[in-house]
Structure 1
């Protein structure tokens, strides 16, 4: 479907939590922003192109609408937004999983709007020094606007754009984010951890843990439970950890499997 909107001048953001605020800070110099989040209403701001609280209908009248809500809240947000979207509008989400949300967006939004699934591969902690050089995944779902959105992200926000599909995205992120957050959660449970007599590798591990320590609980649950490929990665990780535990306790080299427990392609695993 060819978009009827040639120029994006206004952006509506549903959800103004930590990531919604991060987006607003970087988008406001370029677009008029309308924010809908009764739980986190923004303060009116006239710097840049402007930022102000808005109703659902006002959000729907924007050229581009960003769903910055928890993954589990996507169906409710889509249902609320659907009646208010104008023809040719672009709707995108920023969730950490893509298969489920892509299906919800495609089935729940009217055919006269374009849809792009996105996943900024960063958060407020990793973006505290700016966006330049950070990565974002784009999954075209409906419409033809992905190239111009990608161009803005590359040339204006200086992000590295990765074009992919919802399934390919979730297969990789099941390991990339799934393991990172899982290990970080376990390390936090092991506190207090050494702070003085540390190695460079341990310090890097702690830096990675700090980047995700304060993520909302729903982010962790989405990464681990809403991604259909995450369970296979967890199961493989725990199986290999158990093999290593047995080796260390019994000293038997044959208890440590030298080849991967599953094919190199995590994607080949059967989702739970």
Structure 2
């Protein structure tokens, strides 16, 4: 029996206009029939997927950092209720698109990224700690400015 782990790093929304340049991650865990394995992978390659060979463990680490983190930030932006405005900057448009992309996927998919990836909880803690560091820097700067103003 062959074991080939695959994960198309896209879903119905991002792949709706084709798979060109979208990543398909795979690991040949145990492949005895190389012809069959190559034929299967060729299906994705012929559709234009960017083929990325990596271990399952490395995939989970990278997915927690990229996929779970982007979904988390998108969900946070949705909770904040951000919407497009008449004076959007390019960076704000990017945030609105991130929110829309994250909320186009089900909450079950999002929670699955958290529950079934042992590296996701650490990324959530990193996000929280990083937010707190930025917040503290801002508050410190504000305090410094207020001290200068009162002199």
With the length of structure 2 as denominator, give the TM-score of the two structures: 0.83
Query: What is the 5 A alignment of 1:21-170?
Result: 113-144=1-32, 145-154=36-45, 156-170=46-60
Aligned-pair CA distance for 1:202: 1.2
**TM-superposition CA deviations, 1:23-44 (whole Å, max 9, x none):** xxxxxxxxxxxxxxxxxxxxxx
Which SS does the other structure have where 2:21 is aligned? Answer: coil
Instruction: Tell me how far apart the structure 2 counterparts of residues 250 and 221 of structure 1 sit (CA, whole Å).
Output: 35
1:263 aligned residue: none
**TM-superposition CA deviations, 1:14-66 (whole Å, max 9, x none):** xxxxxxxxxxxxxxxxxxxxxxxxxxxxxxxxxxxxxxxxxxxxxxxxxxxxx
Aligned-pair CA distance for 1:209: 2.3
2:102 aligned residue: 212
2:146 aligned residue: none
Instruction: Tell me how far apart the structure 2 counterparts of residues 179 and 150 of structure 1 sit (CA, whole Å).
Output: 28
Distance 1:152 1:128, change over 3 A: closer
1:229 paired to 2:119: yes
1:181 aligned residue: 71
Instruction: Tell me how far apart the structure 2 counterparts of residues 209 and 194 of structure 1 sit (CA, whole Å).
Output: 11
Aligned-pair CA distance for 1:120: 0.8
Larger relative helix fraction: 2
Aligned-pair CA distance for 1:192: 4.5
Query: What is the 5 A alignment of 1:234-253?
Result: 234-251=124-141
Q: For structure 1, which runs of at least 5 residues remain unmatched after alignment?
A: 1-112, 253-272
Instruction: Tell me how far apart the structure 2 counterparts of residues 191 and 237 of structure 1 sit (CA, whole Å).
Output: 19
Instruction: Tell me how far apart the structure 2 counterparts of residues 121 and 236 of structure 1 sit (CA, whole Å).
Output: 23
1:31 aligned residue: none
With the length of structure 1 as denominator, give the TM-score of the two structures: 0.48
Match of 1:171 among 61, 79, 93: 61
Aligned-pair CA distance for 1:166: 0.8
Over aligned residue pairs, what C-alpha RMSD do you find? Answer: 1.7
